[in-house]
């Protein structure tokens, strides 16, 4: 985008008008003196601004120009000055031979759309009131004029710690706590550790059948589970920490609805000769939210004498997990997915199983996971689990907001949008939406510029865009799979935020239809 001197001076002048007084007229001579712009040039600019009803003029000794209203944006001013907001790009519906649109075409449209969105969010009156204009470009979006505009729809990536959790962690943070120390302070830390272990098992109704190892994350818990066996049969939609394990064999396909093909699972495990094998099927998919039939999976595994591990990381705090009812052999959970701190997870396993070490050093955690305990995070983990029932009740209500968003989008698109796994049982807060006409990457840029935080799937790839293997495994062609974005709600999200997301979605969609 190229902005001429005329457009630049128009914005500078209006910021000056706002700075000198929103209510009283400002003379052009003051603007000229302050900004170093000639009076004659200013008269031409303000003639255009007046014609566009951006300013009003007043004659007489106290005359000058003033705002017509306080909601004037930078975009309004640039357009009133006669500037065009468009990127240099190829023209026409078909810019390649044969009427084909080039692959770069949508990129330039997306950038242009994001520039327009950003400029329309900048009110001149608010800019003039900022003491530090660097606030306009705060990378986290929590300062300055966009503070109240950030919408967080990425709770499957991580959740904000609950206030109760933060307070509990702060309470013990000043203390030197190492449960491995044999002195009195160390024994106190040991009590915190073992109480947290017992309470987490109790909240999951594990009884006396299970043990718990604290880990640094759900990823580590998944790795420890799979590494404890000779081989692991997995579905094609598991988290990368399962699929990328050297012992994992992805051989269980999923159906179009996102649930695993139970007949293929049985076919696979029926051929196993060596029983030192584990099947790993996630309880709920992190991208689509589709719930897997874990009870049926467990029945098949039990019938053929193989073990079952389930990655339940996205389920904690969102749906009920009762290990007395679903007696899987191993289960992975992580605190930061349900209002706990980052940096702590757990592998829960039946006492009859002997997990393998994947780290070596000290004798912590039954000689299986050496290293000094992150006792502050473990206490926060316990505090989050103490709020488990309340969290589940609140998350159950997010299904109404999720359905509202999905129904609006399907109505806007006249059925052209896709909700992946819509007809399957799902987590109440998760929706995977395909726009089809726009790539996920272009959509993420568009929403991010509008202050809406969401994702295109797992956040465990260091921000890298990757092949949308979950939707592809469900049988969708590459173009459709590549358009999938994920919204994952929390109980704190509102109908107002949903409406703003829907509006932003429709704005981008309308560029193609």
Give the tens place of pLDDT for each residue, 333-365.
999 999 999 999 999 999 999 998 888 888 888
Which residues have CB under 8 Å from 333's CB, separation 6+? 218, 221, 312, 313, 316, 345, 346, 348
What's the DSSP call for residue 157? T
pLDDT of residue 133: 46
Q: What is the rounded CA–CA span in Å between residue 214 and residue 193?
A: 10
pLDDT of 139 above 50: no
3-state helix, strand, coil in the chain (%, to 5): 45, 15, 45
Q: What is the rounded CA–CA span in Å between residue 147 and residue 151?
A: 10
Two tokens, residue 498: 């949903």
* Burial (Cβ within 10 Å: 0-12, 13-18, ≥19) of residue 202: exposed
The answer to whether the pTM exceeds 0.75 is no
Cα pseudo-dihedral 495, 500, 504, 510, rounded to 10: 70
Give the tens place of pLDDT for each residue, 254-306.
999 999 999 999 999 998 877 799 999 999 999 999 999 999 999 999 999 99
Task: Compare 118 and 244 and report the one with higher pLDDT.
Answer: 244
Query: Of the ranges 50-59, 346-355, 444-453, which one carries the lowest mean pLDDT score?
Result: 50-59
Instruction: Sketch the domain layout of the chain as residue ranges.
Output: 5-144, 151-159+395-510, 163-391
Q: What is the rounded CA–CA span in Å between residue 169 and residue 297?
A: 38
The verdict on domain 163-391 having CATH code 3.40.640.10 is yes
Which residues have CB under 8 Å from 11's CB, separation 6+? 74, 77, 78, 124
pLDDT of 83 above 90: no
Which residues have CB under 8 Å from 257's CB, separation 6+? 290, 421, 423, 424, 474
Based on the residue annotation, tell me whether 95 is a catalytic residue of this protein: no
CB atoms within 10 A of CB 205: 14
Query: Which of the four pLDDT bands, split at 50, 70 and 90, describes residue 145?
Result: very low
Contact between 481 and 256 (Cβ < 8 Å): no
Contact between 307 and 327 (Cβ < 8 Å): no
Task: Find the catalytic residue in 102, 251, 460, 503.
Answer: 460
Q: What is the CATH number of domain 151-159+395-510?
A: 3.90.1150.10
pLDDT of residue 366: 84
Query: Which of the four pLDDT bands, split at 50, 70 and 90, describes residue 106?
Result: low
Assign a CATH topology to domain 5-144: Arc Repressor Mutant, subunit A (1.10.10)
Question: Which residue stretches of 121-173 are H helix?
Answer: 124-129, 163-172
Two tokens, residue 258: 């996102």
């Amino acid at each position: 985008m190229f902005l001429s001197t005329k457009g630049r001076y128009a914005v500078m002048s209006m910021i000056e008008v706002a700075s000198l007084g929103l209510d009283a007229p400002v003379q052009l001579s003051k603007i000229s003196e302050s900004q170093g712009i000639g009076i004659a040039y200013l008269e031409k600019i303000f003639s255009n601004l007046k014609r566009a009803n951006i300013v009003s003029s007043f004659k007489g000794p106290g005359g000058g120009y003033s705002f017509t209203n306080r909601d004037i944006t930078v975009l309004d001013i640039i357009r009133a000055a006669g500037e065009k907001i468009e990127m240099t790009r190829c023209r026409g519906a078909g810019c390649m031979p044969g009427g084909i649109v080039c692959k770069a075409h949508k990129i330039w449209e997306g950038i242009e759309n994001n520039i327009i969105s950003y400029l329309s969010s900048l009110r001149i009156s608010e800019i003039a009131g900022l003491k530090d204009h660097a606030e306009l470009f705060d990378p986290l979006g929590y300062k300055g004029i966009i503070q109240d505009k950030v919408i967080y729809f990425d709770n499957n990536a991580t959740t904000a710690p609950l206030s109760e959790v933060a307070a509990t962690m702060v309470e013990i943070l000043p203390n030197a706590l190492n449960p491995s120390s044999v002195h009195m302070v160390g024994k106190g830390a040991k009590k915190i550790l073992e109480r947290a272990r017992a309470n987490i098992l109790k909240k999951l109704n594990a009884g006396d059948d299970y043990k718990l190892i604290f880990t640094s994350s759900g990823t580590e818990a998944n790795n420890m589970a799979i590494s404890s066996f000779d081989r692991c049969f997995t579905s094609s939609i598991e988290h990368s920490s399962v699929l990328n394990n050297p012992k994992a064999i992805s051989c269980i396909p999923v159906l179009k609805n996102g649930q695993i093909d139970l007949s293929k699972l049985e076919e696979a495990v029926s051929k196993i000769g060596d029983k030192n094998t584990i099947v790993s099927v996630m309880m709920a998919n992190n991208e689509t939210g589709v719930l897997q039939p874990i009870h049926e999976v467990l029945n098949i595994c039990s019938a053929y004498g193989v073990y079952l591990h389930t990655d339940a990381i996205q389920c904690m705090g969102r749906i009920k997990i009762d290990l007395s009812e679903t007696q899987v052999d191993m289960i992975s959970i992580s605190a930061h997915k349900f209002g706990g701190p980052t940096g702590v997870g757990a592998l829960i396993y039946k006492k009859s199983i002997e997990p393998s070490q994947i780290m070596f050093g000290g004798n912590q955690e039954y000689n299986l996971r050496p290293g000094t305990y992150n006792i502050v995070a473990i206490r926060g983990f316990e505090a989050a689990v103490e709020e488990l029932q309340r969290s589940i009740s609140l998350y159950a209500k997010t299904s109404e907001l999720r359905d509202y968003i999905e129904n609006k989008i399907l109505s806007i698109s006249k059925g052209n949008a896709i909700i992946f796994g819509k007809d399957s049982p799902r987590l109440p807060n998760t929706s995977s939406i395909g726009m089809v006409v726009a790539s996920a990457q272009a959509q993420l840029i568009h929403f991010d510029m509008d202050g809406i935080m969401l994702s295109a799937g797992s956040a465990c790839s260091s921000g890298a865009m990757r092949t949308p293997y979950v939707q592809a495994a469900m049988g969708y062609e590459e173009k459709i799979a590549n358009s999938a974005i994920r919204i994952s709600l929390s109980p704190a999200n509102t109908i107002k935020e949903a409406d703003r997301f829907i509006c932003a979605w429709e704005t981008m969609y309308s560029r193609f239809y």
